[in-house]
Structure 1
Amino acid sequence: MLDVLTVATAVAALALAAWCGWAAHRDQPTKDWHFIGMAVVSLLALVQLVVGIVQLARGERPEQGVTIFVAYLVGAFACVPVTAFMSLAERTRWGSVTVAAGGVVLAVLQVRLYDIWGG
Structure 2
Amino acid sequence: MIDALTWVVGLAALALALWCGYATLRDQPTKDWHFAGMAVVSLLALVQLVVAFVRLGGGGSPADGTAIFVAYQLGAVAAVPATGFLSLSERTRWGSATVAAGAIVLAVLEVRLIDIWGGGHG
Aligned residue type for 1:53 = F
2:20 is equivalent to residue 3 of structure 1: no
* Equivalences, count: 119
Match of 2:88 in 1: 88
Return the alpha-carbon distance in structure 2 between the equivalents of residues 27 and 115 of structure 1: 37
Name the SS for the 1:83 alignment partner: helix
Aligned residue type for 1:13 = A
Name the SS for the 1:8 alignment partner: helix
The one-character-per-residue Cα deviations of 1:11-34 (angstroms, maximum 9, x if unpaired) are 000000000000000000000000
Superposition map of 1:45-64 within 5 A: 45-64=45-64
- State the TM-score, normalized to the length of structure 2: 0.97
Name the SS for the 1:111 alignment partner: helix
Aligned residue type for 1:54 = V
Name the SS for the 2:97 alignment partner: helix
Aligned residue type for 2:56 = L
Structure 1 unaligned regions, length at least 5:
none
Return the alpha-carbon distance in structure 2 between the equivalents of residues 60 and 26 of structure 1: 45
- Alpha-carbon offset, residue 101 of structure 1: 0.2
- Alpha-carbon offset, residue 40 of structure 1: 0.2
2:106 is equivalent to residue 106 of structure 1: yes
- Alpha-carbon offset, residue 109 of structure 1: 0.1
Give the share of equivalent positions with the same residue, in percent. Answer: 70
Aligned residue type for 2:82 = V
Return the alpha-carbon distance in structure 2 between the equivalents of residues 7 and 58 of structure 1: 22
- Alpha-carbon offset, residue 100 of structure 1: 0.3
2:78 is equivalent to residue 65 of structure 1: no
- Alpha-carbon offset, residue 73 of structure 1: 0.3
Name the SS for the 1:37 alignment partner: helix
